[in-house]
Amino acid sequence: MATVSPLAKYKLVFLGDQSVGKTCIITRFMYDKFDTTYQATIGIDFLSKTMYLEDRTVRLQLWDTAGQERFRSLIPSYIRDSSVAVIVYDVANRQSFLNTSKWMEEVRTERGCDVIIVLVGNKTDLVDKRQVFIEEGDSKARELGVMFIETSAKAGFNIKPLFRKIAAALPGMERLASTKQDDMVDVNLKSTVNSSQEITSRIDIWRSLKLILILSLEFPALHNQNGSIVSE
Protein backbone atom coordinates (compact mmCIF):
# COMPACT_ATOMS: atom_id res chain seq x y z
CA MET A 1 0.00 0.00 0.00
CA ALA A 2 1.42 3.36 -1.02
CA THR A 3 2.25 5.74 1.80
CA VAL A 4 0.64 9.15 1.87
CA SER A 5 3.07 12.04 1.99
CA PRO A 6 2.48 14.42 4.90
CA LEU A 7 0.92 17.73 3.95
CA ALA A 8 3.54 20.45 3.74
CA LYS A 9 2.81 23.28 6.17
CA TYR A 10 4.11 26.83 5.91
CA LYS A 11 3.74 29.71 8.33
CA LEU A 12 2.85 33.11 6.85
CA VAL A 13 3.00 36.13 9.14
CA PHE A 14 1.21 39.32 8.05
CA LEU A 15 2.85 42.57 9.16
CA GLY A 16 2.19 46.26 8.67
CA ASP A 17 0.73 49.35 10.27
CA GLN A 18 -2.75 49.48 11.72
CA SER A 19 -5.64 49.72 9.23
CA VAL A 20 -3.65 48.79 6.10
CA GLY A 21 -5.91 45.80 5.44
CA LYS A 22 -4.01 42.75 6.67
CA THR A 23 -7.10 41.11 8.14
CA CYS A 24 -9.17 42.00 5.06
CA ILE A 25 -6.66 40.32 2.74
CA ILE A 26 -6.76 37.15 4.83
CA THR A 27 -10.57 37.23 5.06
CA ARG A 28 -10.91 37.67 1.29
CA PHE A 29 -8.56 34.73 0.69
CA MET A 30 -10.20 32.48 3.28
CA TYR A 31 -13.87 33.21 2.71
CA ASP A 32 -13.99 35.39 -0.43
CA LYS A 33 -15.79 38.17 1.39
CA PHE A 34 -15.08 41.71 2.58
CA ASP A 35 -16.20 43.06 5.93
CA THR A 36 -17.06 46.75 5.70
CA THR A 37 -17.02 47.08 9.49
CA TYR A 38 -13.53 47.84 10.74
CA GLN A 39 -12.40 45.96 13.83
CA ALA A 40 -8.78 46.20 14.92
CA THR A 41 -6.93 42.93 15.44
CA ILE A 42 -6.21 42.34 19.12
CA GLY A 43 -2.86 40.65 19.64
CA ILE A 44 -2.48 37.81 17.13
CA ASP A 45 -5.07 35.84 15.15
CA PHE A 46 -4.48 32.47 13.51
CA LEU A 47 -6.19 30.81 10.54
CA SER A 48 -5.15 28.07 8.15
CA LYS A 49 -6.21 26.87 4.73
CA THR A 50 -5.29 24.10 2.33
CA MET A 51 -4.29 25.45 -1.07
CA TYR A 52 -4.31 23.34 -4.24
CA LEU A 53 -1.96 24.25 -7.07
CA GLU A 54 -1.79 21.91 -10.05
CA ASP A 55 -0.30 18.71 -8.58
CA ARG A 56 0.81 20.29 -5.30
CA THR A 57 -1.08 20.74 -2.07
CA VAL A 58 0.13 22.94 0.77
CA ARG A 59 -1.25 24.00 4.11
CA LEU A 60 -0.87 27.73 4.70
CA GLN A 61 -0.90 28.85 8.33
CA LEU A 62 -1.86 32.53 8.36
CA TRP A 63 -0.83 34.63 11.37
CA ASP A 64 -2.55 38.01 11.45
CA THR A 65 -0.71 40.49 13.67
CA ALA A 66 -1.96 43.71 15.22
CA GLY A 67 -0.51 46.94 13.84
CA GLN A 68 -0.98 48.80 17.11
CA GLU A 69 2.18 49.82 18.91
CA ARG A 70 1.18 48.23 22.21
CA PHE A 71 1.31 44.76 20.63
CA ARG A 72 4.68 45.18 18.91
CA SER A 73 6.46 43.22 21.64
CA LEU A 74 4.51 40.08 20.66
CA ILE A 75 5.45 40.13 16.99
CA PRO A 76 9.14 39.06 16.94
CA SER A 77 8.32 35.64 18.41
CA TYR A 78 5.88 35.00 15.55
CA ILE A 79 8.33 36.15 12.89
CA ARG A 80 11.03 33.90 14.28
CA ASP A 81 9.87 30.58 12.79
CA SER A 82 7.93 31.90 9.80
CA SER A 83 8.42 30.78 6.21
CA VAL A 84 6.93 33.94 4.70
CA ALA A 85 6.57 37.54 5.87
CA VAL A 86 3.84 39.51 4.10
CA ILE A 87 4.40 43.22 4.71
CA VAL A 88 1.32 45.28 3.84
CA TYR A 89 0.91 49.01 3.32
CA ASP A 90 -2.02 51.20 2.28
CA VAL A 91 -1.49 52.87 -1.12
CA ALA A 92 -3.61 55.77 0.17
CA ASN A 93 -1.35 56.25 3.21
CA ARG A 94 2.24 57.22 2.42
CA GLN A 95 3.39 56.88 6.02
CA SER A 96 2.37 53.23 6.06
CA PHE A 97 4.56 52.75 2.97
CA LEU A 98 7.53 54.49 4.60
CA ASN A 99 7.07 52.36 7.71
CA THR A 100 7.50 49.15 5.72
CA SER A 101 11.25 49.71 6.05
CA LYS A 102 10.93 49.21 9.81
CA TRP A 103 8.92 46.05 9.32
CA MET A 104 11.50 44.77 6.83
CA GLU A 105 14.26 45.45 9.35
CA GLU A 106 12.37 43.57 12.05
CA VAL A 107 11.95 40.55 9.78
CA ARG A 108 15.62 40.56 8.78
CA THR A 109 16.65 40.85 12.43
CA GLU A 110 14.68 37.75 13.37
CA ARG A 111 15.07 35.64 10.21
CA GLY A 112 17.97 37.06 8.24
CA CYS A 113 17.67 35.96 4.61
CA ASP A 114 16.04 32.65 5.53
CA VAL A 115 12.52 33.90 4.80
CA ILE A 116 10.39 34.87 1.81
CA ILE A 117 9.26 38.50 1.98
CA VAL A 118 6.38 39.94 -0.02
CA LEU A 119 5.67 43.67 -0.13
CA VAL A 120 1.95 44.28 -0.69
CA GLY A 121 0.35 47.59 -1.61
CA ASN A 122 -3.30 47.22 -0.60
CA LYS A 123 -6.46 49.30 -1.22
CA THR A 124 -5.91 49.97 -4.93
CA ASP A 125 -9.66 50.60 -5.14
CA LEU A 126 -9.01 54.03 -3.53
CA VAL A 127 -7.97 55.46 -6.88
CA ASP A 128 -8.62 59.12 -6.06
CA LYS A 129 -6.83 58.87 -2.70
CA ARG A 130 -3.70 57.07 -3.87
CA GLN A 131 -0.48 58.48 -2.41
CA VAL A 132 1.92 55.67 -3.31
CA PHE A 133 2.18 54.67 -6.97
CA ILE A 134 2.91 51.17 -8.18
CA GLU A 135 6.31 52.22 -9.54
CA GLU A 136 7.40 53.24 -6.04
CA GLY A 137 6.39 49.94 -4.52
CA ASP A 138 8.04 47.98 -7.30
CA SER A 139 11.22 50.03 -7.02
CA LYS A 140 11.45 49.50 -3.27
CA ALA A 141 10.86 45.77 -3.62
CA ARG A 142 13.59 45.47 -6.26
CA GLU A 143 15.97 47.48 -4.11
CA LEU A 144 15.37 45.20 -1.12
CA GLY A 145 15.25 41.99 -3.14
CA VAL A 146 11.70 41.01 -2.18
CA MET A 147 8.54 40.18 -4.10
CA PHE A 148 5.90 42.82 -4.79
CA ILE A 149 2.24 42.98 -5.73
CA GLU A 150 -0.66 45.42 -5.38
CA THR A 151 -4.05 44.25 -4.16
CA SER A 152 -7.54 45.34 -3.23
CA ALA A 153 -9.13 43.20 -0.55
CA LYS A 154 -12.36 45.13 -1.04
CA ALA A 155 -12.58 44.41 -4.78
CA GLY A 156 -10.89 41.01 -4.54
CA PHE A 157 -8.17 42.20 -6.92
CA ASN A 158 -4.95 40.13 -7.00
CA ILE A 159 -5.72 38.25 -3.77
CA LYS A 160 -5.45 34.77 -5.26
CA PRO A 161 -2.42 35.76 -7.39
CA LEU A 162 -0.75 37.00 -4.19
CA PHE A 163 -1.03 33.61 -2.55
CA ARG A 164 -0.13 31.81 -5.77
CA LYS A 165 3.10 33.84 -5.96
CA ILE A 166 3.83 32.95 -2.36
CA ALA A 167 3.14 29.25 -2.94
CA ALA A 168 5.35 29.26 -6.04
CA ALA A 169 8.25 30.61 -4.00
CA LEU A 170 7.97 28.06 -1.19
CA PRO A 171 10.55 25.27 -0.87
CA GLY A 172 9.66 22.34 -3.11
CA MET A 173 7.63 24.51 -5.48
CA GLU A 174 10.42 25.28 -7.94
CA ARG A 175 8.39 24.26 -10.99
CA LEU A 176 5.65 26.75 -10.16
CA ALA A 177 8.23 29.42 -9.37
CA SER A 178 8.93 29.67 -13.09
CA THR A 179 5.64 31.57 -13.40
CA LYS A 180 6.32 35.16 -14.43
CA GLN A 181 6.27 37.52 -11.47
CA ASP A 182 4.34 40.12 -13.45
CA ASP A 183 1.53 37.63 -14.07
CA MET A 184 -1.40 39.18 -12.23
CA VAL A 185 -4.15 37.11 -13.85
CA ASP A 186 -6.61 35.79 -11.27
CA VAL A 187 -6.55 32.04 -10.75
CA ASN A 188 -9.10 29.60 -9.41
CA LEU A 189 -8.14 27.42 -6.49
CA LYS A 190 -9.39 23.84 -6.68
CA SER A 191 -12.76 23.58 -4.96
CA THR A 192 -13.78 20.69 -2.73
CA VAL A 193 -17.07 19.08 -1.82
CA ASN A 194 -16.95 20.39 1.72
CA SER A 195 -14.82 23.52 1.83
CA SER A 196 -15.62 24.06 5.48
CA GLN A 197 -13.42 21.08 6.29
CA GLU A 198 -10.49 22.83 4.63
CA ILE A 199 -10.75 25.95 6.72
CA THR A 200 -9.60 26.00 10.32
CA SER A 201 -11.11 28.94 12.15
CA ARG A 202 -10.01 30.43 15.43
CA ILE A 203 -9.88 27.64 17.97
CA ASP A 204 -10.75 27.87 21.66
CA ILE A 205 -7.26 26.97 22.80
CA TRP A 206 -5.76 29.73 20.68
CA ARG A 207 -8.28 32.25 21.95
CA SER A 208 -7.34 31.37 25.52
CA LEU A 209 -3.64 31.72 24.76
CA LYS A 210 -4.18 35.07 23.07
CA LEU A 211 -6.20 36.29 26.06
CA ILE A 212 -3.37 35.33 28.41
CA LEU A 213 -0.87 37.23 26.25
CA ILE A 214 -3.09 40.32 26.16
CA LEU A 215 -3.70 40.23 29.90
CA SER A 216 0.04 39.93 30.51
CA LEU A 217 0.51 43.16 28.57
CA GLU A 218 -2.35 45.04 30.16
CA PHE A 219 -1.80 43.75 33.72
CA PRO A 220 1.90 43.00 34.22
CA ALA A 221 2.79 40.86 37.22
CA LEU A 222 5.90 40.29 39.29
CA HIS A 223 7.30 36.81 39.85
CA ASN A 224 8.98 35.72 43.07
CA GLN A 225 12.02 33.47 43.19
CA ASN A 226 9.84 30.36 43.36
CA GLY A 227 8.17 31.29 40.07
CA SER A 228 4.77 32.11 41.55
CA ILE A 229 3.01 35.27 40.45
CA VAL A 230 2.78 38.21 42.79
CA SER A 231 0.29 40.86 41.69
CA GLU A 232 1.43 44.45 41.74
Phi and psi torsions of 148, nearest 5°: -145, 145
From the list 147, 165, 200, the residue with the least C-alpha distance to 53 is 165
Q: Is the pTM of this model over 0.75?
A: no
Question: What is the structure's pLDDT at 206?
Answer: 52
> Does 228 map to a domain?
no
> Does 31 map to a domain?
yes
Question: pLDDT tens digits for 74-120?
Answer: 788 889 899 999 999 999 999 999 999 999 999 999 999 999 999 99
- Which residues have a Cβ under 8 Å from the Cβ of 174 and sit 6 or more positions away? none
> Does 208 map to a domain?
no
> Which three-class secondary structure state does DSSP give residue 7?
coil
**More reliable by pLDDT, 69 or 84:** 84
Tell me, what CATH number does 36's domain have? Answer: 3.40.50.300
Question: pLDDT tens digits for 166-214?
Answer: 999 997 654 444 443 444 333 333 333 333 334 444 444 455 555 555 5
> Does 226 map to a domain?
no
> Does 106 map to a domain?
yes
Domain count for the chain: 1
> Does 120 map to a domain?
yes
> Does 223 map to a domain?
no
> Does 217 map to a domain?
no
Question: What is the structure's pLDDT at 78?
Answer: 82
Structural domain containing residue 24: 8-201
